[in-house]
Amino acid sequence: MSNLFDTLKAKIDGKGKKIVFPEALDERILTAASQLEADGLVKPVLVGNKEKVEQKAAEVGVDVSGAEILDPANYDEFDEMVASFVERRKGKATEEKAREVLQVANYFGTMLVYMGKADGLVSGAAHSTADTVRPALQIIKTKPGIKKTSGVFVMVREEEKYVFADCAININPDSQDLAEIALASAETAALFDIDPKVAMLSFSTKGSAQSPETEKVSEALKLAKEQNNDLVIDGEFQFDAAFVPSVAEKKAPDSPLKGEANTFIFPSLEAGNIGYKIAQRLGNFDAVGPVLQGLNQPVNDLSRGCNADDVYKLAIITAAQSVQ
């Protein structure tokens, strides 16, 4: 795990990346922000009343004097932000509504990222996933060619690193969704210094079974190849045919993966969520994530059960995403 984050730290070292933390009164956020500032890795931007944030930091016993503290109720460029929000929402928000919405820390923080005042956002320690992701989808939006964001886990065990997707967002992705997830996951794999070899998973290998579920995966493979013919990707595969060379030789001898896949695209959220938890609990892998992908600028969601170290690590990942 340390090697993984050493690689990411090297990517952001000296870049001066700013990461917004909308939950500035949370002890875990303050502790992580203090450490990030002390390590010189990220410049924290804390959203909240300056006096209250500094008081809470003093109670926690951490130093956030190097962090930028921005208060939606007293922000010099608030009028500019309101105008930008109204324009971005294209008639879905009046100026009056914008002034109300932008008092909400997650919306205010997301607008800071959209306006280039920060490079990414980390939230979710005290908010639901929806509260974190909704402003991102409304304001930052997804990259061209991608309709939906998705969530990956990077599974780490000693020197082994794999990407599992989508394990966090899309319940029942269709073929187009799966193709988008595959392409975005390949980019995420590269961020973690994994040379992506992508397997589209199913309960069938190369037509050994036929059903609407397997056909969905086969169609997704076709769509992904049309968008990036240089990517090493194949399917549909059962997991062992994608991962075990001896099984691959028997079931899919002509596949470019040759049983060496490292980026696994699950056919549904149900499968992905179960799969990463089995690897985590039975295989003793560390699960890093979920890392959100497909957005124009990085926003990432913490678990409400997170600790300060989780916040620290996700901030590093978010900063590294902004370097790409």
State how far the alpha carbon of 105 is from the alpha carbons of 127, 297, 315, in Å. Answer: 11, 18, 17
Residue 285's pLDDT is 95
Residue 1's pLDDT is 66
The answer, yes or no, to whether residue 241 has pLDDT greater than 90, is yes
Q: How many CB atoms lie within 10 A of CB 219?
A: 17
Reported confidence tier of residue 128, pLDDT bands at 50, 70, 90: confident
Q: C-alpha angle with apex 46: 42 to 47, nearest 5 degrees?
A: 150
Burial status of residue 7 (CB atoms within 10 A of its CB: 0-12, 13-18, 19 or more): middle
Integer-rounded Cα radius of gyration of the chain? 21
Convert the pLDDT of each residue in 27-68 to its tens digit. Answer: 999 999 999 999 999 999 999 999 999 999 999 999 999 999
Query: What is the residue type of 116?
Result: G
The answer, yes or no, to whether residue 324 has pLDDT greater than 70, is no
**What is the distance between the alpha carbons of residues 77 and 62, in angstroms, rounded to a whole number?**
29
Convert the pLDDT of each residue in 195-227 to its tens digit. Answer: 999 999 999 999 899 999 999 999 999 999 999
B/e letters for 223-238, b = 16+ CB within 10 Å, e = fewer, are: bbeeeeeebbbbbbbb
113: Cα within 13 Å, side-chain hemisphere: 34
Alpha helices for the chain (secondary structure H) = 2-12, 27-39, 50-60, 78-89, 95-101, 105-114, 129-135, 175-191, 212-227, 239-243, 245-251, 269-281, 308-323
| pTM summary value | 0.89
DSSP one-letter code for 143:
P
CB distance 134 to 110 below 8 Å: no
The answer, yes or no, to whether residue 129 has pLDDT greater than 90, is no
